[in-house]
Chains A and B, each alone.
Chain A
């Protein structure tokens, strides 16, 4: 399978614990995006990378959230000291370099439930 893969698909954790999600994009895609989606809503932008550089972060991304893409390939999204409001689907997408012609390819998402 050469699509975007995310791991884990589901994570249940207790409030206050740290969680980390991983995204493996399509190998030749330079751009990688993280989005968050709550029930009944459209996805909300969190952050995106071009290669290893983090180019933009949403104000939704509080200090408890950090994302990395150390070698310009896979990316991790870490949430520290989770809160119940962090419960959501975390979606990763990748695209070719050109912003105006790059179709997006999404992973299946990582669903987080904070108890």
Chain B
């Protein structure tokens, strides 16, 4: 079993829909990252969380430390949101443990 699990693995949506991507982890963490990866490989950091909730534009990230769970929400989704969204946790030493990603496609 992977230490970081994401669901769903693939997600399709119509433009405007509210989207939720989930991340569960089984290790103690000091921080959790949500990352966005576009085709071609470039990775952009969206959020770093250690507690509570963060919001940036149409993106909202929440974390529940007790339940070892985080969610990434996209409100009013747009085709340009199509990408792979990756959850990664900092655990113990400073390395990151990554989930396998959720591939999102938003259709107009």
A105 close to chain B: CB less than 8 A = yes
In the bound complex, what is the Cα–Cα distance between A49 and B95 (angstroms)? 10
For B103, give the chain A residue with the smallest CB separation: A40
Q: Are A91 and B100 in contact (CB under 8 A)?
A: no
Are the CB atoms of A42 and B45 closer together than 8 Å?
no
A104 proximal to B (CB < 8 A): yes
How many chain B residues touch the partner (CB < 8 A)?
A: 25
Q: How far is the CA of A43 from the CA of B44 in the complex (A)?
A: 13
Q: Is B43 an interface residue (CB 8 A)?
A: yes
Chain A residues in 8 Å Cβ range of B4: 42
| Interface size class of chain A, counting residues whose CB lies under 8 Å from the partner chain | 20 to 34
Whether A41 is near chain B, meaning CB under 8 Å from some CB there, is yes
Q: How far is the CA of A50 from the CA of B50 in the complex (A)?
A: 22
**Contact residues of B: prevailing secondary structure:** strand
Question: Which residues of B are found within 8 Å of A104, using beta-carbon distances?
Answer: 33, 35, 45, 48, 96
Q: Are A44 and B41 in contact (CB under 8 A)?
A: no
**Shortest Cβ distance from A109 into B: residue:** B41
> Are A108 and B42 in contact, CB atoms less than 8 angstroms apart?
yes
* Cβ A42 vs Cβ B42 within 8 A: no
Residue B86, interface by CB 8 Å: yes
Question: Which of A62-111 touch B at CB < 8 Å?
Answer: 89, 91, 93, 99-106, 108-109, 111
A21 at the interface (CB under 8 A from B): no
The digit string for B74-107, where 1 denotes a CB below 8 A from any CB of A, is: 0000000000001010100111111111000000
* Chain B residues with a Cβ under 8 A of chain A: 4, 30-31, 33, 35, 40-45, 48, 50, 86, 88, 90, 93-101
A-B contact pairs, 15 of them (CB 8 A): A31-B94, A40-B100, A42-B98, A48-B95, A50-B94, A99-B31, A99-B94, A100-B30, A101-B31, A103-B33, A104-B33, A104-B96, A106-B42, A106-B45, A109-B43
Q: Which 9 interchain pairs have the tightest Cβ spacing?
A: A42-B98, A106-B43, A109-B41, A45-B95, A99-B94, A42-B100, A43-B98, A108-B42, A100-B30
